[in-house]
Amino acid sequence: MNERVFNFSAGPAILPEEVLKSAAEEMMNYRGSGMSVMEMSHRSKVYNEIIETAEADLRRLMSIPDNYKVLFLQGGAWTQFSMVPMNLMKHGIADYVITGSWAKKAYDEAKTYGDARAIASSKDRDFTYIPDLDHLKISEDADYVHICENNTIYGTTYQKLPDTKGKVLVSDMSSMILSKPVDVRRYGLIYAGAQKNVGPAGTTIVIIREDLITDDVYPGTPTMLKYKTHADKNSLFNTPPTYGIYLCGKVFRWLLGMGGLEAIEKRNKEKAALLYDYLDQSELFYGTVERHDRSLMNVTFKTDDDELNERFVKEAEAKGLVNLKGHRSVGGMRASIYNAMPVEGVEALVRFMHHFEANERRT
């Protein structure tokens, strides 16, 4: 394949072309340093400016208040499934809302470290909706309430935040961070693996309120898994994922240049509407989740025929629309339309669906 494709992968996922080009230009010699960013000491002055600019830009994009730390870590969202309970379960109790596989995995991991409680679930209808958030049975002594704010696999998202009755809210934002403005003050901790909506795999972003960073952690917590270790050293305790942070920083700049998160949200809503509007009038394809809870980032859909689904994915791929196969636990199709997916990509997909449907009707 000589041309770039429209990549609808759920992750690692599409990155802005401008960012890739700029990184390519700087690959051999970063701004007169005589070396690639990959070859630099993380303690050098030149790298220090890269990581500090990245953090400052992220703070500006998300309006992160001064009493929150921004950490660039490794280990993916999965490592946060353990770090969160190890560091935050001071009383040994935490509440989890189960809205899909990732939420369930976070919950299962937390059970190792204390009394993790599943206080609501949408498993009864195959995770096709977000449960009632106004009447959650929050535990009196809960150290935090954990949600997975966008369910990458099922294609649902929280349209509003749950009432946690004053308890600390922890959110896995892996597949929706930077897709729209959020009020950081409503959260105690936000985490996200970069490879969905930010940058390359290998960097994990954590935004944590300072009062939650303490030495009072689960006994035996390794040094590397304490937030305090990284917060005290501004993410430079040991070697951070230097190149990944550099690319994330480029994406932050790109987003600022696009007009910030309000502008991005508007664009994301327009992109998602193109696809959902088509699905809603289609006689062949249909969306798989409740309309009210639909994700802006991961659009899941099907036809009633597994063979047809398979053929659709294959023929789409031949047209340069790739990675549309749904997660194996849901089947059908999934189009991940993260920030970096241009509107032309979604338009091309809708055109192809239209064409595919018209052909089906004829045969």
Query: Which residue, 47 or 227, is less far from ligand PLP as judged by CB?
Result: 227
What x/- string results for residues 63 through 92 when contact with ligand PLP is judged by CB under 6 A?
-------------xxx--------------
Q: Using the rule CB under 6 A, which residue among 57, 109, 143, 172 binds ligand PLP?
A: 172
- Annotated catalytic residue, options 69, 95, 102, 293: 102
> Interface mask (CB under 6 A) for ligand PLP, residues 126-165, using x and -?
----------------------x---x-------------
Helices (H), 226-333: 227-232, 242-257, 260-281, 306-318
11, 16, 200, 244: which one contacts ligand PLP (CB under 6 A)? 11
**Is 305 part of the annotated catalytic residue set?**
no
Which helix (H) or strand (E) segment holds residue 346: the answer is helix 343-362
Nearest to 227 by CA among 66, 88, 67: 88
d(CA 21, CA 297): 24
CA nearest neighbour of 218 among 62, 84, 333, 106: 84
Binding mask 90-129 for ligand PLP (x = CB under 6 A): ------------x---------------------------
* Strand boundaries in the chain, DSSP class E: 6-7, 68-73, 93-98, 115-121, 145-148, 150-151, 156-157, 169-172, 189-193, 204-209, 286-287, 298-302, 321-322, 333-336
Distance CA 315, CA 329 (A): 22
List the x/- string, 242-281, binding to ligand PLP by CB under 6 A: ----------------------------------------
Closest CB to ligand PLP among residues 84, 284: 84
The answer to whether the beta carbons of residues 150 and 337 sit under 8 Å apart is no
Query: What is the smallest separation between the CB atom of 120 and ligand PLP, expressed in angstroms?
Result: 17
Cβ of residue 10: shortest distance to ligand PLP, in angstroms?
Answer: 7
Ramachandran angles phi, psi of 161, nearest 5°: -90, 155
User: Would residue 123 show up in a list of annotated catalytic residues for this protein?
Assistant: no
Q: How far apart are the first and last CA of the chain?
A: 31
Residue 196 binds to ligand PLP (criterion: CB under 6 A)? yes
Does the active-site annotation cover 78? Answer: no
Measured CA to CA, the distance from residue 166 to residue 312 in angstroms comes to 47
Catalytic residue among 57, 95, 143, 172: 172
Site residues for ligand PLP per CB under 6 A: 11, 76-78, 102, 148, 152, 172, 174-175, 193, 196
